[in-house]
Amino acid sequence: MYVGTLRFDLLLGDVRSLKEKRSVIRPIVAELHRKFAVSVAETGDQDLYRRAEIGIATVSGDLGHVKDVLDRCERWMVARPEVALLSTRQRIHGGDDD
C-alpha cells in the first residue's frame, strides 16, 4: 500500500476578506476532489486572507498510480489563473515505512 500526500502553498489574487478567500478556495477543493478522487482540504493559513495551504492525500496499491495522481493534481493547480502556486511538497509513504 502506498499513501501519497501533496501540499500546496498558494497566494491568492485580488482577495480582500476571508469570505472572498472561501469563494476562491472552496471550488478548488471541490474540483480536486471530484476530478481526481483524492481527499483534499484547506490545511493551513486559515486566518490569512491572501494565503492558503491545501493538502491532498491518495492511497493505492500501485506506486505509479499514486505518483501519477499527485502529478496531475499539481499540473492542474499550476494552470489555475486565480492563484499563484508558491511551493509544493510531495511525499509518498510505502509499505516498508515503519
Task: Write the pLDDT tens digit of every residue in 13-71.
Answer: 888 999 999 999 999 999 999 999 999 999 988 888 899 999 999 999 999 999 999 99
The residue behind cell 476562491 is 24
Residue 58 — φ and ψ, nearest 5°?
-145, 150
User: How far is the C-alpha of 96 from the C-alpha of 13, rounded, in Å?
Assistant: 41
Query: Has this prediction a pTM greater than 0.85?
Result: yes
From the CB of residue 70, how many other CB atoms can be counted at a distance below 10 Å? 22
